[in-house]
Amino acid sequence: MSSTLIHKLGNNTDIPTSVIAFVTNAFQQVVIPILGIFVFLVLWSFAAKNIETSLGNFPGPGEVWKQFGGLYSEHITEREKEEAFYQRQEERNAKKLAKNPDYIAKKRKYTGKETFLDQIITSLITVMSGFFLAAIIAIPLGIAIGLSKTLNTAVNPIIQIFKPVSPLAWLPLVTMVVSALYVSADPIVPKSFINSMITVTLCCLWPMVINTSVGVASINKDLVNVSRVLKLPPLSHIRKIVIPASIPMIFTGMRLSLGIAWMVLIAAEMLAQNPGLGKFVWDEFQNGSSNSLGRIMAAVLVIGFVGFLLDRAMLQVQRFISWDKESATR
């Protein structure tokens, strides 16, 4: 009698296991990372107070937050200025047109300074252009190398030599070649953009070539035999067997490359003066105002965050395209 009572009571106070699981999961997924970030912020601000530089204290989290606000409001003012400029221009043209109907209206572009947000966009465009250029070259090359042992033996030493070269070594060469070849009175894109883009391409070519070729070379031999029994012509063999089979490895290479591309880009932009985040960091460093360090630190955080987003975006694309969902979980 009493035992059943206890049993009943026990049942009533029991929390369903699903709720326990949810709470534990939430704790692990949310609370612990937040705790980690909090500890980091505390350590950072403590360390920052104790580092004295010629430009004042090293920026702590508060200072960087303030700079973010400053950068954003600068962006807003700049946009307002731009709008005002175009409005003035339109009014002026309308007036002139009213006086003289034959007048051909002059339209000038606003040449204000690039804001931080504009620079992020420029960096993104540059890195994506360089990355796609590399992919267009690297993936077909990687497939060819993976399919032909002879080509692999021929090209492998060259790849191994070029792979570890830093972007800073390429940049002067790229700059000179681009200035020699890219001559146009009215260039569509500035030289600095081409320089940074090609440097990015040169650095992120290799992981893609290597991963693609390894992926292609390690296709299951049975699948190749299936293709032989079916007498698939070479092109459909590549399209129907080789590419789908090596898609997971191709994506691994692309993710590695995109990570490298983003790192390389900042250095390339510093030196090539491409108006992106790299130039922002460099200009702030040369500027040397009391805000500079805080702004650079803000840029560092943005660079990290954008890099993280790029990687996640690549992972989502992989999940969407690749049949092998398991290789796309990390």
Partner 1 sequence: MNEIILNISNIDMEFPTPKGPFTALKEVDLKVQKGEFVSLIGHSGCGKSTVLNIVAGLHQATRGGVVLNGKEVSSPGPERAVVFQNHSLLPWLTAYENVELAVKQVFKKTKSKAEIKEWIEHNLQLVHMDHALHKRPDELSGGMKQRVGIARALSMQPEVLLMDEPFGALDALTRAHMQETLMEIHNELKNTVIMITHDVDEAVLLSDRIVMMTNGPAAKIGEILDVKLERPRNRISLAETPEYSKLRHAVLSFLYEKQRKIETIPSRTQDESEKKQLADKVAAA
Residue ranges binding partner 1 (CB under 8 A)? 220, 222-223, 225-226, 228-232, 240-241, 244-245, 247, 323-324
Question: CB 73 → partner 1: shortest distance, Å?
Answer: 51
Q: Which two tokens stand for residue 137?
A: 């070259």
Long-range Cβ contact pairs of 147-155 (< 8 A, separation 24 or more): 147/216, 147/217, 147/238, 147/242, 152/213, 152/217
Long-range Cβ contact pairs of 157-161 (< 8 A, separation 24 or more): 159/206, 159/209, 159/210
Q: Which two tokens stand for residue 211?
A: 């991963």
User: 266 CB contacts (<8 Å, ≥6 apart)?
Assistant: 123, 277, 278, 281, 303
Question: CB 312 → partner 1: shortest distance, Å?
Answer: 24
Answer whether 178's CB lies under 8 Å from 194's CB.
yes
Question: CB 212 → partner 1: shortest distance, Å?
Answer: 17
| Rounded Cα gap, residues 103 and 97, in angstroms | 6
In terms of CB distance, is 61 or 244 closer to partner 1? 244
In terms of CB distance, is 143 or 241 closer to partner 1? 241
Question: CB 323 → partner 1: shortest distance, Å?
Answer: 3
CB 243: neighbour CB atoms within 10 A?
Answer: 16
In terms of CB distance, is 139 or 245 closer to partner 1? 245
| Rounded Cα gap, residues 86 and 91, in angstroms | 9
In terms of CB distance, is 147 or 300 closer to partner 1? 147
Question: CB 322 → partner 1: shortest distance, Å?
Answer: 8
Question: CB 246 → partner 1: shortest distance, Å?
Answer: 11
Question: CB 32 → partner 1: shortest distance, Å?
Answer: 33
In terms of CB distance, is 7 or 239 closer to partner 1? 239
Residue linked to tokens 């070849």 = 181
Question: CB 144 → partner 1: shortest distance, Å?
Answer: 22
Question: CB 208 → partner 1: shortest distance, Å?
Answer: 21
In terms of CB distance, is 233 or 304 closer to partner 1? 233
Q: Which two tokens stand for residue 193?
A: 């953009």
List, as one string, the DSSP characters of 278-327: HHHHHHHHHH--TTHHHHHHHHHHHHHHHHHHHHHHHHHHHHHH-S-GGG
In terms of CB distance, is 220 or 289 closer to partner 1? 220
Nearest to 133 by CA among 190, 185, 193, 192: 193
Answer whether 166's CB lies under 8 Å from 277's CB.
no
In terms of CB distance, is 88 or 228 closer to partner 1? 228
| Rounded Cα gap, residues 255 and 208, in angstroms | 9
In terms of CB distance, is 123 or 227 closer to partner 1? 227
Residue linked to tokens 């191994």 = 160
